[in-house]
Amino acid sequence: MARRARAIRERQAATGVPASPHIRRALPFFDPLDPEQIEKIEEQVNWLIEDVGIAFRDDAHALRIWREAGARVEGDVVRAPADWIRAECAKAPSEFTQLARNPARSVTIGGANQVFAPIYGAPFVRDLEGGRRYGNMADFEKLVKLTYMHPALHHGGLVITEPTDVPVSKRHLDMLFAHMTLSDKPHLGAITERSRAQDSVDMAEIVFGREVMDANCVIMGNVNTNSPLLVDKVVTEAVYTYCGRGQGIVVVPFILSGAMGPVSTAASVAQAMAEALMVCAFAQIIRPGAPFVLGNFLSSMSLKSGAPTFGMPEPVMSNYAIGQLARRAGLPLRCGGSLTASKIEDAQAAYESADAMHSTMLAGANFVLHAAGWMEGGLCTGFEKLIMDADRLGSYQKILDQGLDCSDEAMARDAYGEVAPGGHFLGCGHTMRNYQTAFYEAQLSDSENVESWEEGGSLDMRARAHRRWQAMLESYEAPAMDAALREELEAFVARRKEALPDAWY
């Protein structure tokens, strides 16, 4: 580990950016559950799978597949021996690589790897100058560029905001084109309709070519189950389209504890596990070995209003619990993010995001959607918030990548030959050799004294973030792309747009 930490430090010093396109964790995981707690939750998962069952709705084909595979199907409720479901799940890889257009940005998901991606699905955007408004394609493109440029974001996600000025029926085409051309980081595909998922897979095939795609994961879909205990057609069709083509899928039960699950963290975690494992088994029946990410999104509730709350003890605890359970299941995990209910980029937003994200990182979440930019319970993407969160992600990346360096150089024994009791280490040899890479340099934290800070205009973090993302966009340069490839993508988008009617649902 010491040698690795040193190599990372040297590359960071040389390039100013993380050496890796994702995190390869040196820090151990935090496993807080004792064997009794694990047994209790896993028994409950088994009970939900075997006795209670999960409904697969509005998809007769899915029920047929389950029946033929040997499950017990009554109405649309599927029950099956938990051992068999777990055996199917074991066919999914415990880690896999999603290729990026730029091979240096390919990410490995699972195991000790952690990948951060921005917020997904917010219809609104907010920035300090423009205020809160519906997101549009111009906002979307800016957000793709910022995500591309930020070293602590490893993956583009997909719907960084909803470009609401584009018809829903065509929106996925413009979003995918933006990710594929303005960035060379990996990203997700659409899932809202089967044809849109298919378009995503087809466009990925244009970028990567059939042979590469046959042998690799190059795109993934991210879908929610319809908790409690319900899997709808959006999920099964995404499985057919993505996993059927050997591509990946992220399946996320979204549970507001007390509404879509019991008002208990342990029970809601068990329910989420049961739902996700059933879809994982289904995906493995469709295509053994298909990359699968077990998702978990648990939120707590305000008793005053029934509104979801974030960064609270219950979802923090669920992050820690699901991390340990997912590792036992041998499946890559998606959970957490920089989550908050705050409407603006204030202290509430930051406290809640940090507690949500600190637990997410320590829990070992392998794929973290919503790692930056999330505001207002997910309804709004903040331009400043994106950059502020990402600055903190860089801090988490250092903690995870390096752990505690205990190499001989780190122990600094020679320094004590130079420094007397009560003296200082500022100029000693060890300090001179190491100070440039010793500390994480946060871009948006101000550590000046109050006088300097006031002279600089008394800017709060939000104001500094506003300046920073604008400066970043000014220096944006698109990653290189083969002209013929770009034309082929353009032609595909144009052809599909012609074939599709404008529709706003």
Residues from 411 through 430 that contact a second copy (CB under 8 A): 411-413, 415-416, 419, 421-426, 428, 430
Q: Parallel, antiparallel, or unpaired: how do β-strands 54-56 and 230-231 relate?
A: parallel
CA torsion 99-104-105-108 (nearest 10°) is: 60
CA distance 242 to 164: 25
Q: Quick check: 112 and 333 in contact, CB under 8 A? A: no
User: Which of these ranges, 92-100, 158-166, 301-309, 492-500, lies near a second copy under the rule CB under 8 A?
Assistant: 301-309
Query: Does residue 32 belong to the site contacting a second copy (CB under 8 A)?
Result: yes
Among 115, 158, 203, 270, binds a second copy (CB under 8 A): 270
Query: Does residue 307 belong to the site contacting a second copy (CB under 8 A)?
Result: yes
Query: Does residue 276 belong to the site contacting a second copy (CB under 8 A)?
Result: no
Give the DSSP H or E segment for 357: helix 347-362
Query: Does residue 74 belong to the site contacting a second copy (CB under 8 A)?
Result: no
Strand partners, 116: 368
Query: Does residue 246 belong to the site contacting a second copy (CB under 8 A)?
Result: no
Tokens of 504: 């706003």
Q: 267-270 contacts: CB < 8 A, separation 24 or more?
A: 267/44, 268/298, 268/318, 269/41, 269/296, 269/298, 269/318, 269/321, 269/322, 269/325, 270/41, 270/44, 270/45, 270/48
Residue type, 47: W
Q: Quick check: 309 and 342 in contact, CB under 8 A? A: no
Of the pair 5, 99, the CB lying nearest a second copy is at 5
Cα radius of gyration (the chain)? 23
Q: Quick check: 41 and 269 in contact, CB under 8 A? A: yes
CA distance 110 to 129: 39
- DSSP classification of residue 410: H
| Least spacing, CB of residue 337 vs a second copy, in Å | 14
Of the pair 412, 481, the CB lying nearest a second copy is at 412
Query: Does residue 62 belong to the site contacting a second copy (CB under 8 A)?
Result: no
| Least spacing, CB of residue 430 vs a second copy, in Å | 6
User: Which of these ranges, 115-123, 288-296, 302-310, 483-491, lies near a second copy under the rule CB under 8 A?
Assistant: 302-310
Among 167, 246, 258, 330, binds a second copy (CB under 8 A): 258
User: Which of these ranges, 47-55, 109-117, 137-145, 146-154, lies near a second copy under the rule CB under 8 A?
Assistant: 47-55
Among 59, 117, 376, 378, binds a second copy (CB under 8 A): 376
User: Which of these ranges, 149-157, 251-259, 472-480, 483-491, lies near a second copy under the rule CB under 8 A?
Assistant: 251-259
Query: Does residue 351 belong to the site contacting a second copy (CB under 8 A)?
Result: yes
Query: Does residue 448 belong to the site contacting a second copy (CB under 8 A)?
Result: yes
CA distance 321 to 40: 12
Query: Does residue 13 belong to the site contacting a second copy (CB under 8 A)?
Result: no
Residue count of the chain: 505
Of the pair 218, 390, the CB lying nearest a second copy is at 390
Query: Does residue 60 belong to the site contacting a second copy (CB under 8 A)?
Result: no
Among 154, 334, 358, 370, binds a second copy (CB under 8 A): 358
Query: Does residue 17 belong to the site contacting a second copy (CB under 8 A)?
Result: no
